[in-house]
């Protein structure tokens, strides 16, 4: 049980709000930086076409979902014209020959094929911009979840701001790197979106539950339904925004939600439906942090977390709640050691 905190003051909330807004301004890439990414993509595509004639490259992840940082990696998916899915393709040998080809590209360094992972990729370093990137094949669900995240980002500016704050928080607390055993950016973004859907009144709707027809349309990709309502111009006819909280209040609310309100043992973090989903229903009771992918319903983003890492993440949230939720000028050092930046 957490100790009660002194009441929040309006002045502190105002400061907190401007810190959150500043975080977005400081870290969001501008038009030029986004253009650079598109430029690299086109250059790589024409280079790859020398050997793979029908190749098409597409950006996904944070270059496209609205929550990118200046230094975020370039997530690229390659598909071949006339080939709908990866079925029948030898992805590993394609990745290996793609790596051999990319080694001849004058602007790239550190080409590294990784063929043992669930999704085989070839990693690269783009020397002129200092950006890292990877190319995967037919990572089609990722293209769709990128589009879903981008739609949520477009509904309300507070979505983006809160996702930036959370990503910065996660990086500073060392809890946001899946390759080192913690949670991916994607996982944290799903946590933010879920919270914004659960807020009363909600800040965002559940796009996968809105449809114009009698029944929910079915758009199958790799066996999963990737349908969601993406006609955002018409969204106001279907869903009215009633939440007027500031980003600062929402950030504090998020820390409170995940430290006080949300029952991790009982419930799944799931952005595809508004009704509660239980860990029991999903048979995902062995993990504490359970995050369901919005499309691949067999995929738990928290599956790779050790007990130790889970504790570390929860402690970061509890510390965050104290730091951002206590209206005093100076914090005792044990609260701030995690987050010198703020």
Question: What does the alpha-carbon distance between residue 281 and residue 26 come to, in Å, rounded to a whole number?
Answer: 41
The structure tokens listed for 291 are: 């995050």
Q: Is 270 in the site for Mg ion (CB under 5 A)?
A: no
* Minimum distance from residue 301 beta carbon to Mg ion (Å): 15
Q: Is 61 in the site for ligand 3AT (CB under 6 A)?
A: yes
Q: What is the CA radius of gyration of the chain?
A: 21
HSE-up (13 A, CA, CB side) for residue 150: 16
Question: What does the alpha-carbon distance between residue 65 and residue 140 come to, in Å, rounded to a whole number?
Answer: 15
Comparing every residue's Cβ against ligand 3AT, the nearest one is 61
Question: What does the alpha-carbon distance between residue 278 and residue 16 come to, in Å, rounded to a whole number?
Answer: 33
Q: Is 279 in the site for ligand 3AT (CB under 6 A)?
A: no
Question: What does the alpha-carbon distance between residue 174 and residue 333 come to, in Å, rounded to a whole number?
Answer: 18
Q: Which is nearer to ligand 3AT, 261 or 298 (CB)?
A: 298
Q: Is 133 in the site for Mg ion (CB under 5 A)?
A: no
Binding characters for ligand 3AT, 115-154, by CB under 6 A (x = yes): ---------------------------x--xx--------
Which partner, Mg ion, ligand 3AT, none, binds residue 184 by CB below 5 to 8 Å per kind? ligand 3AT
Question: What does the alpha-carbon distance between residue 173 and residue 338 come to, in Å, rounded to a whole number?
Answer: 5
Which residue of 17, 58, 59, 73 would you call a contact of Mg ion, by CB under 5 A? 73
DSSP state of 281: H
Site for ligand 3AT, rule CB under 6 A: 60-62, 65, 68-69, 72-73, 75, 142, 145-146, 184-186, 293, 299, 301
| Contact residues: Mg ion, CB under 5 A | 61-62, 72-73, 75
């Amino acid at each position: 049980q957490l100790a009660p905190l002194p009441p929040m003051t309006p002045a502190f909330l105002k400061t907190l709000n401007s810190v959150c807004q500043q975080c977005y301004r400081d870290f969001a890439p501008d038009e030029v930086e986004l253009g650079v990414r598109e430029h690299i993509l086109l250059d790589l595509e024409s280079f790859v076409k020398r050997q793979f004639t029908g190749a098409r490259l597409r950006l996904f992840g944070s270059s496209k979902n609205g929550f990118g940082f200046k230094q975020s990696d370039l997530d690229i998916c390659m598909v071949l014209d006339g080939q709908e899915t990866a079925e029948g393709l030898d992805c590993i040998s394609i990745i290996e020959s793609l790596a051999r080809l990319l080694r001849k590209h004058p602007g790239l360094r550190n080409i590294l094929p990784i063929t043992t992972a669930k999704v085989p990729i070839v990693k690269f370093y783009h020397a002129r911009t200092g950006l890292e990137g990877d190319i995967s094949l037919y990572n089609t669900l990722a293209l769709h979840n990128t589009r879903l995240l981008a739609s949520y980002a477009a509904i309300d500016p507070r979505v983006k701001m809160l996702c930036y704050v959370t990503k910065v928080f996660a990086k500073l607390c060392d809890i946001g790197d899946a390759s080192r055993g913690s949670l991916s950016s994607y996982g944290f973004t799903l946590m933010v979106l879920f919270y914004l859907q659960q807020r009363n009144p909600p800040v965002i709707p559940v796009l996968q539950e809105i449809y114009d027809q009698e029944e929910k349309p079915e758009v199958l990709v790799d066996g999963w339904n990737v349908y969601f309502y993406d006609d955002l111009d018409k969204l106001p006819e279907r869903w009215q925004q009633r939440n007027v909280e500031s980003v600062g209040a929402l950030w504090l609310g998020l820390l409170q939600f995940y430290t006080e309100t949300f029952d991790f043992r009982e419930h799944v973090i799931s952005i595809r439906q508004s009704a509660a989903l239980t860990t029991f229903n999903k048979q995902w009771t062995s993990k504490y942090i359970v995050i369901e992918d919005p499309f691949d319903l067999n995929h738990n983003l928290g599956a790779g977390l050790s007990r130790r890492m889970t504790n570390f993440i929860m402690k970061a949230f509890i510390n965050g709640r104290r730091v951002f939720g206590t209206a005093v000028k100076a914090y005792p050092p044990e609260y701030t050691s995690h987050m010198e930046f703020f």
